[in-house]
Structure 1
Amino acid sequence: MRMMKKTLLALSLLGLTGSAVASPFYVDTGTNWDGATTGTSDKVCDTCTSSKDEITYIYQSSSTTTDTNGSGALDAGDTIFTSGGLAVGSLSNNVVTGFNPSQNFNNDNDNGYGGSNWLLSFSFTGLVGTVMEYTPGVSLELAYGPYGNFDLFYTTDGVTFSNFMDIKVTGAVTGSGGTLLAGTVDFTNVDALPVSMYNMFNSDGATCGGLTGYYDIWLNCDGTGLPLLEINFLADFNTNASSIVVVDNGAQGATLRGNHDGSAVFNVPEPSTLALFGGTLLLLGAGARRRKA
């Protein structure tokens, strides 16, 4: 039964990685970093990028396990606790590396994205899951529940980081191909910032009564005055197997550290995809709707 649940969960998440899930978005930093305009480029606005489908990134992770089943070794059934991104490493190794489609010459403008202008990063802590399978040197499969904090940051100097948006984690599964993590965009515990920074990410498709900013959608389409419109997030974390270091301390648990890369998409669901996402979130244990502070 456990293997069946894990397989169903993985298949449901994998089914969401197709192009139908990726809703186009653009990023408006409020600053024209490269001097290009809507008249000279394909930017959505002078302070915006062009329309994008996904973000790409690299990050580091650190995990510890508890010998839950008392076997005296790391194996199936043990509890695992995982943190990553800026929570465990520097910006150089934990950063959004770019967007897809990426800028090339005068196409698919990134509004000067990069280390000399502006960067995006993230941090996550408190992911709690279960080791589903472990064969030393061969495979490690994990399943995480709806726990943890996932924060996104904006920086223009690599020193000051503004937490402008969060992801409410609904669950994740890890297998031979890496980790698929699902969640929804959330602004309940972000830094005190101008509203324009909360609306840095914008939908380039579905809107909330004409509103495109992710914060405006979250705030207004909450299922009360306007229909509930949750912005879903699906991240594919690829694991560099050769860089994963596992130290099995027997009954004292194990530690795991690794380097990863991957990509993530946002989805502002149309009715047809909303049902698909809803089924997946149920499998991930997300039974509660978003609540505003």
Structure 2
Amino acid sequence: MKKTLLSLALVGLFSASANASQVYLDVGADFGGNSNTAAGDNTTGWIDEIQFQYVSNSVIVDEDGSFDAIDPTTFISAGDTITTTGGFIDGDLSSVASNGITSFIPDSVFGGPSDNGLGTKAWGLTFQLNNLIGSFVDEDTIAYNSGSIDVYYWESTMTATTDFIEVLTLDVIGGGQDLTGSLVNTRVSSFGTDQINGVDAGDVFNTEFGSFEDYINSGLDIAIYGILDFNGSNAEFGGLGLKGGKTTIEASADHDGSLEFSVPEPTSMAILGLGLLGLAGAARRKNA
């Protein structure tokens, strides 16, 4: 594991400070097309944003009793609650085709960074959504507040989903409405214990200051913000039921979205910490 983060004495005080940051992925192997990498042929280039797609399965509860049982698309109203699962299906290798990372921004096709074989589907990242629970802000926007997302690495040579390697887990900590869709806020909570082509799972995602695992081991939070298209496409409704005397309906759809990363900058935080220590010293001298 890389040890490039500065040692921070005031880590707890500044753990909430965060700025948007570029990242790169180190997958431990050169899959080709690497003309513009971040840290060698085994890495991607510097990434501003990650785009993804997935298939969801949800149970929606009609909290206000507004459903008229005629048109299921009119079921949803503000305040209705939802529990969502989704992502690749255990045992179904083909399900990664519609559940996972699709591209990076900037796009390597138009002069952006290398994707180190992601575009040729030599490898990829897929995920599973585990009981994301939230409520509708309006009929198109969901505010999830709990649940988790497990992220896995796969290669085209793998023959079963059991071969996938866990990279990290994201805990959902909140969400709401964004200009382009539903905002989901997550926090990195743990890493896989295996290696990916000789790279520790916690060292796959990196900023200029160190790997995500370096951050976590230093007591810093890594926030990952996702914009999700909850309108989706190919939406299907069915499976009416009851829960606590309220009508429920099952729903599934295809979705897409994007992820941005917000991580603390250790150098800025250390400088700020020294400044605060100086202010504290000045205050003590003044009061003496």
Q: Please identify which structure carries the higher strand content.
A: 2
Q: Could you tell me whether the CA contact under 8 Å between 2:233 and 2:255 is conserved in 1?
A: no
Q: Could you tell me whether the CA contact under 8 Å between 2:137 and 2:176 is conserved in 1?
A: no
Supply the distance in 1 between the matched residues of 2:79 and 2:121 (Cα, whole angstroms). 46
2:115 maps to 1:110: yes
Aligned CA distance change for structure 1 residues 44 and 175 (closer, same or farther; 3 Å): closer
Q: Could you tell me whether the CA contact under 8 Å between 2:58 and 2:83 is conserved in 1?
A: yes
Partner letter of residue 196 of structure 1? D
Pick aligned residue for 2:234 from 237, 243, 263: 243
Instruction: Provide the alpha-carbon RMSD of the alignment.
Output: 3.0
2:252 maps to 1:254: no
Aligned CA distance change for structure 1 residues 244 and 177 (closer, same or farther; 3 Å): farther
Which residue is 2:141 aligned to? 141
**What's the secondary structure of 1:112's corresponding residue?**
coil
Q: Spell out the pairing of 1:124-135 with structure 2 (5 A cutoff).
A: 124-133=129-138
Pick aligned residue for 1:197 from 185, 197, 201: 201
Q: Could you tell me whether the CA contact under 8 Å between 1:21 and 1:265 is conserved in 2?
A: no
2:91 maps to 1:100: no
Pick aligned residue for 1:62 from 27, 41, 57: 57
Partner letter of residue 203 of structure 1? T
Partner letter of residue 155 of structure 1? W
Aligned CA distance change for structure 1 residues 245 and 119 (closer, same or farther; 3 Å): same
The superposition leaves residues 58-108 of structure 1 with CA deviations (integer Å, 9 ceiling, x where unpaired) of 111111023444556644433211112225981111110111112137751
Partner letter of residue 218 of structure 1? I
Deviation at 1:109, TM superposition (A): 1.2
Supply the distance in 1 between the matched residues of 2:179 and 2:39 (Cα, whole angstroms). 38
* TM-score calculated relative to the size of structure 2: 0.69
Question: Which entry has the higher C-alpha Rg, 1 or 2?
Answer: 2
Q: Which structure's relative contact order is higher, taking Cα pairs within 8 Å and 6+ residues apart?
A: 2
**Residue segments in structure 2 that go unaligned for 5+ positions in a row:** 1-17, 69-74, 270-288
**What's the secondary structure of 1:245's corresponding residue?**
strand
Which residue is 2:151 aligned to? 152
The superposition leaves residues 206-255 of structure 1 with CA deviations (integer Å, 9 ceiling, x where unpaired) of x3xxxx01112111x21xxxxxx211100011245552223483743111
Supply the distance in 2 between the matched residues of 1:78 and 1:261 (Cα, whole angstroms). 22
**What's the secondary structure of 2:109's corresponding residue?**
coil
Q: Spell out the pairing of 1:63-78 with structure 2 (5 A cutoff).
A: 63-69=58-64, 74=75, 75-78=77-80
The superposition leaves residues 148-197 of structure 1 with CA deviations (integer Å, 9 ceiling, x where unpaired) of 1111110113532111111111112258943210011221xx43213622
Supply the distance in 2 between the matched residues of 1:110 and 1:71 (Cα, whole angstroms). 47
Which residue is 2:224 aligned to? 233
